[in-house]
Amino acid sequence: METTPLASLSLTHVHYNPADPLSYLCAWLALVPQALCVIYVTLIWSTREIEILLMFTGQLGCEALNFLLKRLIKEERPKQMYGKGYGMPSSHAQFLAYFATSLSLFLLLLHHPPAQHYRSERPYSHKPLNLPQKISLSLLTFFLAAAVAASRVYLNYHTPTQVLVGCIAGGVSGLSWFVFTECLRRMGWLEWGLETWLGRMGRWRDLVVEEDLAEAGWRVWEERRDKRRRVDGVGGKKRR
């Protein structure tokens, strides 16, 4: 009885040496871009923050640039590698370099929460990130990007030059997109977009530049809890 041969979905299909623990770790590092895409989509859907949407849009543009560069340069991967397609530049290295650059620029230049919440006299429930913490987080993100880039060489999916070019392309893409979106913000185009019917229908907002992602939800919960306590106090009820 004839059967149709099965195919392998190569999206997360990574070859590694099972006898080498470092190779096994590199195989997991190869899945970081997919994990970041899940994080992007989750944050966009749950927060409706326009800054996260813009960053993800730039990330997709960076991937499109990588697709174009590979087909223009047409440089083969290392002979001992097991994957398919062209290797110059490394898409993994470019993806993480863009992410690390964009996140660091956002934290260091754009994210400045005030000392207290603008809607309340009470201070924040926790202190916003200070400059050393922002620098540490940025360095940690770049370390992750470097680890993913190195893993592509270790697994023989790319040459060091292909990874280096990918890092440069990703870093330049992240910087260019940040400058472009910041120009849109300062010229008022971002605010105009939020006021359109599409922006209102999607409930997009631009708060993450001035407050923590979790702070707004926590503030609503605290105010609602205080209101319940005041009502219980007036009614003489005790909540178990």
List all residues 6 or more positions away from 51 whose beta carbon is below 8 Å from its beta carbon: 106, 110, 206, 208, 209
If we measure between CA atoms, which residue out of 193, 214, 212, 213 comes closest to residue 204?
Answer: 193
Helix 32-47 crosses helix 131-154 at what angle (to 10 degrees)? 140
Q: What pLDDT is recorded for position 229?
A: 77
Is the pTM value of this prediction over 0.75? yes
CA distance 31 to 26: 9
Q: What pLDDT is recorded for position 128?
A: 72
3-state DSSP percent of the chain in helix, strand and coil, to 5: 65, 0, 35
CA distance 148 to 160: 12
What would the DSSP string read from start to end of 62-131?
Answer: HHHHHHHHHHHH-PPPPTT----S--SS-HHHHHHHHHHHHHHHIIIII----SB-TT-SSBPSSPPP-H
Q: What pLDDT is recorded for position 216?
A: 62
108-141 pLDDT, tens digit each: 888 777 655 544 545 555 667 778 888 999 999 9
List all residues 6 or more positions away from 168 whose beta carbon is below 8 Å from its beta carbon: 89, 97
35-93 pLDDT, tens digit each: 999 999 998 888 888 889 999 999 999 999 999 998 888 888 887 765 567 778 989 99
Question: Across the strands, what pairs with 123?
Answer: 116
More confident residue, 82 or 207: 207
Map out the domains of the chain as residue ranges.
15-113+128-230
pLDDT band at 204 (very low <50, low <70, confident <90, very high): confident
More confident residue, 161 or 223: 161
pLDDT band at 100 (very low <50, low <70, confident <90, very high): very high
Instruction: State percent of the chain over pLDDT 70.
Output: 81
